A and B are shown apart, each in its own frame.
Chain A
């Protein structure tokens, strides 16, 4: 089946680390993505990870992939108020045909 699940809300204080979690179902997915959506805007590609990797680091962002449990996480270090947004994880389904998205995690960063 096609299902990507995320927790809906996360609230952190400025300067703390944020961890957003996601579970997916398609074990044949080759790439998994994180997108960011600010209010009233489209989706901005944040980062991706190839399915044969366990971890990928990109500046303040760290992606962890547990393929056995089909679990993906995004860690944002030193979270800033500008990081407040909705974060979507997505998997490529059927070799690039379509992206399957989770329902999004709303991150609120308090000063």
Chain B
């Protein structure tokens, strides 16, 4: 049973560029959440996708956008990169519903460095 997978593992970009990160959820899961983890901090919620729609969004600018595909995989896009976007980006998957079904399982993350 494959867990949550993310690609790429590492990425280096320059300011102003755009980046796309990818996530495949755990088998049987239909909901994908994205988090940003700056160095030395806890993860911060970016947004969550279910049924190909953004279900909830955290306090991140519109430069951060996402997409969910019919196979439940998801992409996170960041435009006009800033130095402060350098972080570990974590994807988590869960099963939509209530209670324990919504426990989130995390992938290994994509480490983004913006120069």
- Seen from chain A, the residues whose Cβ lies within 8 Å of a Cβ on chain B are 4, 30-31, 33, 35, 40-45, 48, 50, 88, 90, 92, 94-104
Partner of A98, one of B48, B97, B100, B106: B48
CB neighbours (8 Å) of A102 from chain B are 42
Say whether chain A's binding surface is mostly helix, strand, loop, or mixed: strand
Q: Total interface residues on B, using CB and 8 Å?
A: 31
User: Given A42-B107, A45-B103: A98 and B90 within 8 A (CB)?
Assistant: no
CB neighbours (8 Å) of B44 from chain A are 101
B106–A95 touching, CB < 8 Å: no
B55–A88 touching, CB < 8 Å: no
CB neighbours (8 Å) of B99 from chain A are 30-31
A96–B100 touching, CB < 8 Å: no
User: Given A98-B33, A99-B45: A42 and B106 within 8 A (CB)?
Assistant: yes
Q: Cα distance A104–B107 when bound, in Å?
A: 18
Q: Cα distance A48–B104 when bound, in Å?
A: 11
Partner of B56, one of A30, A40, A98: A98
CB neighbours (8 Å) of B33 from chain A are 98-99
Tell me which of A33, A35, A88, A99 has the highest count of chain B C-beta atoms within 10 A of its own C-beta.
A99
B106–A35 touching, CB < 8 Å: yes
Is B71's CB within 8 Å of the partner chain A?
no
Q: Cα distance A94–B40 when bound, in Å?
A: 26
Q: Cα distance A99–B103 when bound, in Å?
A: 9
A96–B90 touching, CB < 8 Å: no
Within 8 A of A (CB), among B13-63: 33, 35, 40-45, 48, 55-56, 58
Partner of B103, one of A31, A98, A100, A101: A31
Q: Cα distance A90–B105 when bound, in Å?
A: 13
Q: Which 9 A-B pairs have the closest CB atoms?
A: A101-B42, A96-B102, A98-B45, A97-B56, A43-B106, A42-B108, A42-B106, A42-B109, A103-B42
Within 8 A of A (CB), among B61-115: 90, 92, 94, 96-100, 102-109, 111
User: Given A35-B106, A98-B48, A99-B43: A42 and B100 within 8 A (CB)?
Assistant: no
Tell me which of B43, B56, B97, B98 has the highest count of chain A C-beta atoms within 10 A of its own C-beta.
B43
